[in-house]
């Protein structure tokens, strides 16, 4: 499938746990008026998380039902739980010309790359491996064992992302504002280029 079919722009944000993906995605919503896709997941909700806003928290059976109905644009198993992007709201927003952001893992990103050749795909890196541990502990969402499991997988995820060859840009999230500005600049240039193409020619 080509994303040329839609006037909107699909943006993918991936990276190891704790690198700042969610923080960056919310800033992109504010700065670009983008629509953040709400993923479905079978992982339990954190105490601060809201069903329907942060995720659609589903039972394994409900998730399977969506799989059987082919409702997902992509899906993957991450840290022992299922996560997936429901196609309908994403396609509708792209048809309406919106910038749509997917915060998804590398397996999901590979599926999106195959279906949307014009998607803009970003992989976010920490300034140093130790910053992931600091940020996950500061966030206070996950238990120590969950944090340890996520940290153990970070190196492999970065390697897998590099090998996948599906990302267009690698952004180091050291200073948060700098990282957000880099992504905003890249996306804005792409949107501007599209508008130029669509301008009526007078001569």
Residues that bind ligand ADP (CB under 6 A): 15, 17-23, 135, 138-139, 173, 176
**Surface-to-core class of residue 85, CB atoms within 10 Å of its CB (0-12 exposed, 13-18 middle, 19+ buried):** buried
Q: Minimum distance between the CB of residue 57 and ligand 5GP, rounded to whole angstroms?
A: 11
Closer CB to ligand ADP, 8 or 15, in the complex:
15
* Residue 39 is a binding residue for ligand 5GP (CB under 6 A): yes
Rounded to whole angstroms, how far apart are CA atoms 192 and 187?
9
* Residue 93 is a binding residue for ligand 5GP (CB under 6 A): no
State which of residues 66, 84, 173, 180 lies at the interface with ligand 5GP (CB under 6 A).
Answer: 84
State which of residues 83, 116, 123, 167 lies at the interface with ligand 5GP (CB under 6 A).
Answer: 83
String of DSSP letters for 9-67: EEEEEE-STTSSHHHHHHHHHHHH--EE---EE-SPPPTT--BTTTBEE--HHHHHHHH
Q: Minimum distance between the CB of residue 91 and ligand 5GP, rounded to whole angstroms?
A: 15
Residue 169: strand, helix, or coil:
strand
What is the biggest distance separating any 2 CA atoms in the chain, rounded to whole angstroms?
65
Name the residues that contact ligand 5GP, by CB under 6 A: 14, 17, 21, 39, 43, 74, 76, 78-79, 83-85, 103-105, 107-108
């Amino acid at each position: 499938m080509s994303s040329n079919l839609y006037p909107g722009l699909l943006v993918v944000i991936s990276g190891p746990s704790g690198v700042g993906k969610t923080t960056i995605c919310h800033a992109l919503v504010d700065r670009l008026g983008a629509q953040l896709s709400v993923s479905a997941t079978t992982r339990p909700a954190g105490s601060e998380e809201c069903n329907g806003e942060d995720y659609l928290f589903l039972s394994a059976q409900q998730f399977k039902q969506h799989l059987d109905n082919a409702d997902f644009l992509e899906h993957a198993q991450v840290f022992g739980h299922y996560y997936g992007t429901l196609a309908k709201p994403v396609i509708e927003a792209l048809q309406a010309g919106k910038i749509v952001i997917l915060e998804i893992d590398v397996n999901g990103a590979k599926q999106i790359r195959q279906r949307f050749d014009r998607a803009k795909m970003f992989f976010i890196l920490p300034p140093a491996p130790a910053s992931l541990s600091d940020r996950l502990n500061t966030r206070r969402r996950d238990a120590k064992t969950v944090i340890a499991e996520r940290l153990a997988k970070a190196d492999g995820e970065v390697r897998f992302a590099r090998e996948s060859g599906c990302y267009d840009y690698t952004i180091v999230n050291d200073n948060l504002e700098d990282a957000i500005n880099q992504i905003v600049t890249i996306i804005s240039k792409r949107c501007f280029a599209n508008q130029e193409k669509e301008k009526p020619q007078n001569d």
